[in-house]
Amino acid sequence: MENSSENPQEKLLDKYTVHERIGTGGMAEVFRGHHEKLNRDVAIKVMRTSLAGDAQFTARFEREARLAASLRHPNIVQVFDFDRQNDRLFLVMEFINGGTLKQRLEDIKSAGSYFSLSEIYRIMQQVANALDYAHGQGMLHRDLKPANILLDQAGDVYITDFGIARLLDSDEITRSGSILGTPDYMSPEQCEGKPLTFSSDIYSLGVILFELLTGETPFDADSPLAILQKHIHEPVPPLSLFRKGLPSGLDSVLQKALSKSPEDRFSTAAGLIDAFAREIYPSANPSTTASTEKPAAPATKPEKLWAGWILPVILIILVLSAGGYWLWKVRLTGQSVISRCTTIDSCERNASLLATADRPVLAVEAYRNAIARVSASEQTAYAKLPCNLGDAYSRLNKKVEAKGAYRECIAWTHNKTELTDLRLYALQRIKELK
């Protein structure tokens, strides 16, 4: 598609205007395009001309593009269209405007830094959701790697190129002994040219997790062939070789994900993420495995307060203390109490009493009253407020409003490490409300 880069306004099928080139991969160039009638930006992946002349390749391209287009998931780049014009095969997909995870990794590495564990959890959870969904549809990715994970401006994650690696069969992958693409994320069975299974994608996901944690892939060497050998034969290196201070239990999670034998790996991507979450949030680790993905909830989560013996204890404390008086007063005059608060703290206190007194309608109003007083510079200090508002809305089963409040709660944490638990709680609640 060299011509397109020289002639950016070229039209494809009279539908798409082709703008600047946004990337080049092993078998294609990717351009930003515009669908004129729908007035929306798209990404156009144009396969190398030499491949388009090959009838076998064209048939494979059409089959894989059709399969990829059948996937619909919020964390998978949507394929809109595919076609050919003259000797060019192209794929039209959703345009994601925040770069790739590969670029993010490089940026963080060159700043001498690492991803935070909460950020890794957030990214991995979205990738895992998408992967398990695709596997549920019978679709393997075959080339899962940070270059095939795109980010949008909000930091949400999208897997792209599902099944596209199948376009290059094993003969084409190895040309005169050299490997197209990178073997860094390839499973041992892929390195040996054996058939792939869903477990092969789980292995690649494990390599990505290793790289997000340490900034390095587990097996590095001077040549691609030497990397292949390491995937097949070498044990996974300990994370501490690359980054100090990570939870020690993470090594066994990585070892399971990167088992040489597919049967020994996690059977789903969610299983890998659950095991990861158990190590990084041990306080959120209940004795059963059923809901281990659930992160720690902030202390004010109402459902937790009502559980078991805590309820009577709290009630006794409330009755015996000044809070008991307030509770009584709140029950009688909730509305006037709301309007009378003058500071964020007093409004928050009222709101939490109303929530405890099981007056969610008034609690919503009181939390909103408190939130309205918070200035931009105070948001991190009061980030819990919108989460509490989300809880109050949840009690009223107002899902849309609750999700909005939890989103605000996430925004107010401003990615502060000390607010990780709160952020994860909000994310978990949003997920549960879907």
Ligand X SMILES: Nc1ncnc2c1ncn2[C@@H]1O[C@H](COP(=O)(O)OP(=O)(O)OP(=O)(O)O)[C@@H](O)[C@H]1O
Q: Would you say 12 or 68 has its CB closer to Mg ion?
A: 68
Six-digit token pair at 179? 């490997």
CA distances from 423 to 119, 153, 302, 409 (A): 10, 18, 17, 7
Indicate which single residue of 61, 95, 266, 425 sits in contact with ligand X (rule: CB under 6 A): 95
- The interface region with Mg ion, picked from 147-155, 234-242, 246-254, 372-380 by CB under 5 A, is 147-155
CB of 210 to Mg ion, least distance (A): 20
- Indicate whether 43 belongs to the interface with ligand X (CB under 6 A): yes
- The interface region with ligand X, picked from 66-74, 87-95, 404-412, 425-433 by CB under 6 A, is 87-95
- The interface region with Mg ion, picked from 154-162, 234-242, 336-344, 411-419 by CB under 5 A, is 154-162
CB atoms within 10 A of CB 86: 7
Indicate which single residue of 64, 119, 132, 161 sits in contact with ligand X (rule: CB under 6 A): 161
Question: Catalytic one among 41, 81, 83, 143?
Answer: 143
- Indicate whether 28 belongs to the interface with ligand X (CB under 6 A): yes
Q: Are 262 and 199 in contact (CB under 8 A)?
A: yes
- The interface region with ligand X, picked from 66-74, 94-102, 304-312, 385-393 by CB under 6 A, is 94-102
- The interface region with Mg ion, picked from 109-117, 143-151, 180-188, 405-413 by CB under 5 A, is 143-151
Q: Is the dihedral of CA 317, 321, 324, 327 positive or negative?
A: negative
CB of 277 to ligand X, least distance (A): 28
Assess whether 143 carries a catalytic annotation.
yes
CB of 150 to Mg ion, least distance (A): 9
Indicate which single residue of 29, 132, 161, 184 sits in contact with Mg ion (rule: CB under 5 A): 161
Indicate which single residue of 4, 125, 160, 200 sits in contact with ligand X (rule: CB under 6 A): 160
Binding mask 114-153 for ligand X (x = CB under 6 A): ---------------------------------xx-x---
Q: Would you say 79 or 253 has its CB closer to ligand X?
A: 79
Tell me which residues in 44-73 interact with ligand X (CB under 6 A): 45
Separation CA 212–CA 120 (nearest Å):
7
Nearest one of 242, 233, 239 to 254, comparing CA atoms? 239
Nearest one of 97, 85, 83 to 40, comparing CA atoms? 97
- The interface region with ligand X, picked from 24-32, 186-194, 260-268, 357-365 by CB under 6 A, is 24-32
Q: Are 204 and 186 in contact (CB under 8 A)?
A: yes
| Nearest residue to Mg ion, scored by beta-carbon proximity | 161
- Indicate whether 179 belongs to the interface with ligand X (CB under 6 A): no
Q: Would you say 22 or 108 has its CB closer to ligand X?
A: 22
Q: Would you say 104 or 429 has its CB closer to ligand X?
A: 104
Backbone angles phi and psi of 396, in degrees to 5: -90, 5
CB of 22 to Mg ion, least distance (A): 12
Q: Would you say 181 or 323 has its CB closer to ligand X?
A: 181
- Indicate whether 148 belongs to the interface with Mg ion (CB under 5 A): yes
Six-digit token pair at 293? 């993905």
- Residue labelled with tokens 């089963």: 397
Residue count at the site for ligand X (CB under 6 A)? 22
- Indicate whether 26 belongs to the interface with ligand X (CB under 6 A): yes
- Indicate whether 27 belongs to the interface with ligand X (CB under 6 A): yes
Residue count at the site for Mg ion (CB under 5 A)? 2
Residues that bind ligand X (CB under 6 A): 22-28, 30, 43, 45, 77, 93-96, 100, 147-148, 150, 160-161, 181
Residues of the shown chain interacting with Mg ion in the complex, contacts defined by CB under 5 A: 148, 161
Q: Which residues are catalytic?
A: 143
